[in-house]
């Protein structure tokens, strides 16, 4: 299959219909692939019914489609079993699920280790748990480039660390986490590891067994699928020990006036009607992703990222945030003293360049980097040199316009 950026771009209806658009905000939401849209439409027009409830043929078709979606996610993550895949409404819901359900197995004084680089969705649920249950939170610091500083991991874990919950890739700096080092230290301390894969999944299929973590969370809208759906993968034996998060239909064996018994995972964690068509659409996106040559895509994304970094570093006064060397995801954030990111984004929008300004739901990381807000460009598989050039031209224009 041809994999030029142009041929990939054509497969995204929104981008195909807007050739003038330079979309550089895929870290917030990637565009949806045609296969995902088609799968949602096909499901809704041929198999729409509730799941795990009906015995008529239409309901059985819905069950089959939903079950097949679970299988696709399991293949995308190289999970041992589809029973380890819990559908949620997104990464945020997946992280809250762990904070509640795994959190319910923690005792006051137990420790959860996070990093300063976390997205708020992997910060706030843990702070809420700390305030409810008296657990301790500890933080892996970051270096001047926003990379996790793992020098003092054993001390940070202490003697009662039960979970290390970190991002696989920063949504601000593009820095990849050294997962192997964290897993090694966590295993020594007897702690579980949760990886927030929200920014990793749009750069290719993942392997939770090779990563050797215990939980993995991501959102469908960041990997070319629909919004409103996400995934929590959990190691079977860990899920088995967790109580439910939400109560409701579909997650029980029996309800009496006195008590309820829980279904096994994954149903135990999917109370209520799940996002059925969205899961089917997500599966189509992941199936498509699994046909791609990711080495070639990574090479192009990396080349564009370097080109962007080179171009930006020539703009007087502009400060690039994040590591400039080593392996990084194609996410480039910068600060222009005196220019507010919202103004920069507005001027660029006039030239059809879509990028993001603000705190990026990572205020602790921005504080550590010495800024309140910044502007972020993120590159995905459908971007090309013209997008990077348009950003650079737009920024030159913004500097003149706003100075």
Q: Which residues are catalytic?
A: 361
Which stretch in 3-11, 52-60, 115-123, 292-300 sits in contact with ligand PMP by CB under 6 A? 115-123
In the complex, minimum distance from the CB of residue 219 to ligand PMP, in angstroms, rounded to a whole number:
3
Is there binding between residue 90 and ligand PMP (CB under 6 A)? yes
Is there binding between residue 91 and ligand PMP (CB under 6 A)? yes
Binding residue for ligand PMP, selected from 26, 31, 92, 267, defined by CB under 6 A: 92
What is the pattern of x (binds ligand PMP, CB under 6 A) and - over residues 204-223?
---------------x----
Positions 27 through 46 that interact with ligand PMP (CB under 6 A): 28
Distances (CA, A) of 135 to 125, 171, 317: 12, 27, 43
In the complex, minimum distance from the CB of residue 57 to ligand PMP, in angstroms, rounded to a whole number:
34
C-alpha closest to that of 113 among 70, 154, 58, 59: 154
Torsion sign, CA atoms 319, 322, 328, 329:
negative
What is the CB neighbour count within 10 angstroms for residue 242? 20
Positions 346 through 385 that interact with ligand PMP (CB under 6 A): 361
Is there binding between residue 196 and ligand PMP (CB under 6 A)? yes
> Tell me, what DSSP letter sits at residue 106?
-
Number of residues that bind ligand PMP (CB under 6 A): 14
Helix (H, G, I), strand (E, B) or coil at 46: helix
Is there binding between residue 198 and ligand PMP (CB under 6 A)? yes
Distances (CA, A) of 167 to 137, 205, 225, 278, 340: 16, 16, 21, 24, 27
Contacts of 33 (CB under 8 A, 6+ apart): 11, 12, 224, 225, 284, 285, 288
Nearer to ligand PMP, 354 or 402 (CB): 354
Is there binding between residue 121 and ligand PMP (CB under 6 A)? yes
Positions touching ligand PMP (CB under 6 A) are 28, 90-92, 119, 121-122, 167, 171, 196, 198-199, 219, 361
């Amino acid at each position: 299959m041809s994999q030029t950026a142009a041929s990939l771009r054509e497969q995204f209806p929104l981008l195909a219909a807007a050739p003038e658009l330079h979309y550089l905000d895929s870290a917030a939401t990637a565009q949806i692939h045609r296969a995902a849209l088609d799968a949602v439409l096909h499901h809704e027009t041929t198999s729409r019914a509730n799941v795990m409830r009906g015995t008529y043929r239409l309901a059985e078709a819905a069950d089959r489609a939903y079950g097949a979606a679970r299988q696709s996610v399991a293949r995308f993550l190289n999970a041992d079993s589809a029973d380890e895949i819990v559908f949620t409404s997104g990464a945020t819901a997946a992280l809250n699920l762990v904070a509640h359900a795994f959190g319910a197995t923690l005792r006051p004084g137990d420790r959860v280790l996070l990093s300063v680089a976390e997205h708020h969705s992997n910060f706030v649920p843990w702070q809420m748990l700390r305030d409810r249950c008296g657990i301790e939170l500890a933080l892996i610091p970051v270096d001047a480039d926003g990379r996790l500083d793992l020098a003092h991991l054993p001390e940070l874990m202490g003697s009662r660390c039960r979970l290390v919950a970190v991002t696989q890739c920063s949504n601000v700096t593009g820095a990849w986490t050294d997962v192997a080092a964290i897993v090694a230290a966590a295993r020594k301390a007897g702690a579980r590891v949760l990886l927030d894969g929200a920014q990793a999944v749009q750069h290719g299929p993942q392997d939770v067994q090779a990563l050797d973590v215990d939980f993995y969370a991501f959102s469908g809208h960041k990997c070319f699928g629909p919004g409103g759906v996400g995934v929590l993968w959990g190691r079977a034996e860990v899920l088995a020990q967790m109580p439910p998060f939400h109560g409701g239909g579909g997650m029980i064996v029996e309800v009496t006036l006195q008590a309820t018994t829980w279904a096994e995972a994954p149903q135990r964690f999917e109370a209520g009607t799940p996002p059925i068509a969205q899961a089917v659409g997500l599966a189509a996106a992941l199936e498509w992703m699994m046909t791609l040559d990711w080495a070639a895509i990574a090479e192009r994304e990396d080349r564009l990222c370097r080109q962007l970094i080179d171009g930006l570093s020539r703009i007087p006064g502009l400060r690039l945030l994040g590591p400039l060397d080593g392996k990084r995801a194609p996410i480039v954030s910068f600060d222009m003293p005196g220019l507010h990111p919202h103004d920069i984004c507005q001027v660029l929008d006039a030239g059809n360049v879509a990028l993001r300004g603000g705190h990026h739901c990572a205020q602790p990381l921005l504080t550590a980097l010495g800024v309140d807000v910044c502007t972020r460009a993120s590159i995905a598989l459908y971007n090309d040199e013209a997008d990077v050039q348009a950003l650079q031209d737009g920024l030159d224009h913004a500097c003149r316009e706003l100075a």
